[in-house]
Amino acid sequence: MTTINTIKTNPYTDQKPGTSGLRKKVKVFQQTHYLANFVQSVFNSLETCDGKILVLGGDGRYFNREAIQIIIKLALANGFAKLIIGQGGLLSTPAASHVIRKYKADGGLILSASHNPAGVDEDFGIKYNIFNGGPAPEKYTDAFFQHSLNISEYYLAEIADVDLDNVGSYNIAELEINIIDPVTDYAELMAEIFDFELLKQQLSSGEISLCFDAMHAITGPYAQRILVEMLGAPADSIINAEPLLDFGGGHPDPNLVYAKELADLMFSDAAPDFGAASDGDGDRNMILGNNIFVTPSDSLAIMAANATLIPAYKNGISGIARSMPTSQAPDRVAKAYNLPCFETPTGWKFFGNLLDADKITLCGEESFGTGSNHVREKDGLWAVLFWLNLVAVKKQPVAEIVQAHWQQFGRDIYSRHDYDAVETEIANEIFAHLIKLLPSLPIQVFGQYTVAYADEFCYTDPIDQSVSANQGIRIGFTNGSRIIFRLSGTGTVGATIRIYVERFSDDVSQHKADPQLALAELILLAEQLSELKQRTGRTEPTVIT
Ligand code: VG1
Ligand code: CO
């Protein structure tokens, strides 16, 4: 008989999930009862845990294993019937989403702070995904938070730590523990979606050469199995392949700044045909070709325009969705192909309903996230395989595919400027100032730009009619250009201000333009309207993507 202990606790007041789960410094998570409080709050908000199946895994960062052992004890005490856990406590975010769906689990806990750095002084995170495999929508996360504010006790089974390293199934009291290989199910799914025969031919023969940067995070083992073992790419096609507790001290965010080694290679004479990187938990992707970087917004548009070349989408797609700050490039494809196109708030949880209702097949975010109806998360390696499959079928370099797309649809020149770790109070003042300014902006003229609308984005979910207000400030111009301001919901230090700017051009001579130059006037306007530089004392953004 397993002893279940009732542990008395007090609420923490800061357990409100952000854009993608609860993210804090490791030291915060290591406070007494902190993790248990949050997990118990999640469990308390579920109707019942009795007899339920829960998937458990994380990106392998510092504190992953410790957290998993605590959660196993909580799950057993709360009456779960079965835990499906990735071997070593590992599961990439998209693989976890797939495992939840494939084994008809009731939900999953994913341990990750995604693109945030890892290590004893860095970040940890946890999020709950529901039965459809997707991140819990706001009505769930609001309930988690409410429970966390009122918690007084949690329940812990008195058992020894579970062996996470051997695949197999066994029982502890009433709880079945099933340790699975974290890659196998996911790899099988990829083989169903893409033309693995064609990819194998071209990757193993060197017809397509590639470099994939796993950034010392979760995708190392996935890329090794799929790209090298299944598709025959040379072993040295993967760099930073070994997952490390601190991701090698790097920032596992696949962009030109943080994946510098890859970026330098792809813009050098030694560049292979194809380059890509993923993030801490494997849901983001960066796509590069020989001397070209594909913006995530363009990537979604190009995928949508070419989807029928991929086996899984050969009969067409039902629609596209993009997050509000993502460029309007996908909308142009939707219009041309007469497809529905949806604009959602930032965060993957807003795509779930549209995917479940088959209103959309593809969706994406400017923040290096793309995905489809195959899971309910964005999916880094899926995007890489999609592009490789396109290059293989079209027999065209990445640069040619992108330029041909711009020629047909025009180019949405795009950039995002991030100001990290701004003092929270100053950031709030900037937004208050902007909100006050909004009503006075329409029809004002700034150089070649006339304001058409200025508002705060409010989303009504077309499926369940739930309303999400205050999802970012939009200033739209009569020529379709936009400036958007948002506060990040994934940071752990102060506030991160994101400014997104875009401008459309169907002038082919503009298609080689450097976005920073082509957008200079809008960027300056964004800085002036927000008074960002005066108010923060910053002279330039922390990161430009
Ligand atoms: C950021 C991105 C958003 C993404 C989120 C989670 O959120 O902008 O598009 O969905 O990260 O991605 P925010 O609130 O910081 O802008 V991940 O790969 O960190 O789970
Ligand atoms: Co991520």
* Overall average pLDDT of the 478-494 stretch: 91
Least confident stretch, 77-86, 413-422, 484-493: 484-493
Atom 6 of ligand 1: nearest residue by CA position: 20
CA of 26 to the centre of ligand 1 (A): 19
**150 CB neighbour count, 10 Å cutoff:** 9
Atom number of ligand 1 nearest to Cα 496: 15
Q: What is the CATH number of domain 411-544?
A: 3.30.310.50
Name the average pLDDT for the chain. 96
Residue in the structure block whose two tokens are 């999640």: 42
Q: According to the model, what pLDDT value does residue 491 have?
A: 79
Q: How far is CA 86 from CA 57, 167, 241, 280, in A?
A: 5, 9, 18, 16
Q: 25: helix, coil or strand?
A: strand
What would the pLDDT profile of 113-142 be if each residue is shown by its tens digit? 999 999 999 999 999 999 999 999 999 999
- Residue 37 CA to chain centroid, in angstroms? 26
Q: According to the model, what pLDDT value does residue 511 have?
A: 82
8 Å CB contact between 175 and 77: no
The number of the ligand nearest the C-alpha atom of 496 reads: 1
Domain with CATH 3.40.120.10 in the chain: 4-182, 185-409
Q: What are phi and psi of 82, to 5 degrees?
A: -150, 140
The number of the ligand nearest the C-alpha atom of 94 reads: 2
Mutate to test the pocket of ligand 1, among 286, 327, 367, 431 (most ligand atoms within 8 A of CB): 367
CA of 284 to the centre of ligand 2 (A): 5
Residue 192 has pLDDT above 90, yes or no: yes
* Residue 14 amino acid letter: D
Q: Retrieve residue 478's tokens.
A: 């009569």
Distant-in-sequence, close-in-space partners of 431: CB < 8 Å, separation ≥ 6: 473, 485, 487
Name the nearest CA neighbour of 411 among 294, 308, 320: 294
The number of the ligand nearest the C-alpha atom of 344 reads: 1
Q: According to the model, what pLDDT value does residue 490 have?
A: 84
Q: What is the CATH number of domain 4-182?
A: 3.40.120.10
Q: What are phi and psi of 224, to 5 degrees?
A: -60, -50
What would the pLDDT profile of 223-275 be if each residue is shown by its tens digit? 999 999 999 999 999 999 999 999 998 899 999 999 999 999 999 999 999 99
CA of 126 to the centre of ligand 1 (A): 14
* Residue 171 amino acid letter: N
The DSSP string of 461-493 is -TTT--EE----EEEEETTS-EEEEEE-SS-SS
What would the pLDDT profile of 357-368 be if each residue is shown by its tens digit? 999 999 999 999
Q: According to the model, what pLDDT value does residue 20 have?
A: 86
Atom 2 of ligand 1: nearest residue by CA position: 367
The DSSP string of 44-57 is HHSS--TT-EEEEE
What would the pLDDT profile of 392-438 be if each residue is shown by its tens digit? 999 999 999 999 999 999 999 999 999 999 999 999 999 999 999 99
Question: How far is the C-alpha of 202 from the C-alpha of 232, rounded, in Å?
Answer: 9
Ligand 1: residues with CB < 6 A are 19-20, 114-115, 279, 283-284, 323, 346-348, 365, 367, 369, 488-490, 498
The number of the ligand nearest the C-alpha atom of 347 reads: 1
- Residue 512 — pLDDT band, cuts 50, 70, 90? confident
Atom 17 of ligand 1: nearest residue by CA position: 114
3-state secondary structure 519-534: CHHHHHHHHHHHCHHH
Atom 11 of ligand 1: nearest residue by CA position: 490
* Overall average pLDDT of the 263-289 stretch: 96
Atom number of ligand 1 nearest to Cα 365: 9
8 Å CB contact between 110 and 91: yes
Instruction: Using CB atoms within 10 Å of the CB of residue 28, give its burial: 0 to 12 exposed, 13 to 18 middle, 19+ buried.
Output: middle
* Overall average pLDDT of the 66-87 stretch: 97
Residues with catalytic function? 114
* Overall average pLDDT of the 447-475 stretch: 95
Question: How far is the C-alpha of 24 from the C-alpha of 113, rounded, in Å?
Answer: 8
**110 CB neighbour count, 10 Å cutoff:** 29
Distant-in-sequence, close-in-space partners of 168: CB < 8 Å, separation ≥ 6: 178, 179
* Overall average pLDDT of the 311-336 stretch: 98
- Residue 489 — pLDDT band, cuts 50, 70, 90? confident
First-last CA distance in the chain = 56
Residue in the structure block whose two tokens are 């946890």: 126
CA of 109 to the centre of ligand 2 (A): 14
Q: What are phi and psi of 445, to 5 degrees?
A: -110, 130
Q: According to the model, what pLDDT value does residue 494 have?
A: 87
Atom number of ligand 1 nearest to Cα 283: 18
Domain with CATH 3.30.310.50 in the chain: 411-544
Q: What is the CATH number of domain 185-409?
A: 3.40.120.10
* Overall average pLDDT of the 454-462 stretch: 97
Residue 316 has pLDDT above 90, yes or no: yes
Q: According to the model, what pLDDT value does residue 289 have?
A: 97
CA of 19 to the centre of ligand 1 (A): 6
Establish how many alpha carbons lie within 13 A of residue 485's alpha carbon, considering only the half-sphere containing its beta carbon. Answer: 28
Q: 193: helix, coil or strand?
A: helix
CA of 380 to the centre of ligand 2 (A): 9
Q: According to the model, what pLDDT value does residue 321 have?
A: 98
- Residue 351 — pLDDT band, cuts 50, 70, 90? very high
Q: According to the model, what pLDDT value does residue 250 have?
A: 87
Residue 1 has pLDDT above 80, yes or no: no
Q: According to the model, what pLDDT value does residue 355 have?
A: 98
Residue 347 has pLDDT above 90, yes or no: yes
Atom number of ligand 1 nearest to Cα 348: 10
